[in-house]
Amino acid sequence: MLIPKRKGVGQILDLNRKDQIQLMDEIQYCSKIMKKNFKCANLNVEKVGNIVPQLHIHIVPRHKKDPTWPLSIWVIKGKPYTKLALASMLDKLKKII
């Protein structure tokens, strides 16, 4: 998830042009890393904000074995990662970013 450090910004359109370009560059950078390292079939890049009003971008690697494939990840309630799985994923991300 990308969270631009801009106070009071809830929508991409609230960013100035320079910050919009920076955000798109960061989305592209993170998306390339995710696609390469998580060997996914597709990436979902989403800005929702219906519950959390602060601007944030979800970058979600998708696999054909996903429970909701090819639908949105939001159609079912997800299950939290185990502490071990989360720690493993965080270690992997730290090494590649």
Domain boundaries, the chain: 12-96
Tell me the per-residue pLDDT of 4-26, one tens digit each, with 9 for 90 and over. Answer: 989 889 999 999 999 999 999 99
Tell me the per-residue pLDDT of 61-82, one tens digit each, with 9 for 90 and over. Answer: 999 999 899 998 889 888 888 9
Residue 94: φ, ψ to 5°: -60, -35
C-alpha to C-alpha distances, 89 to 12, 52, 77, nearest whole angstrom: 28, 24, 20
Q: Quote the pTM value.
A: 0.83
Whether domain 12-96 has CATH 3.40.50.1980? no
d(CA 4, CA 18): 12
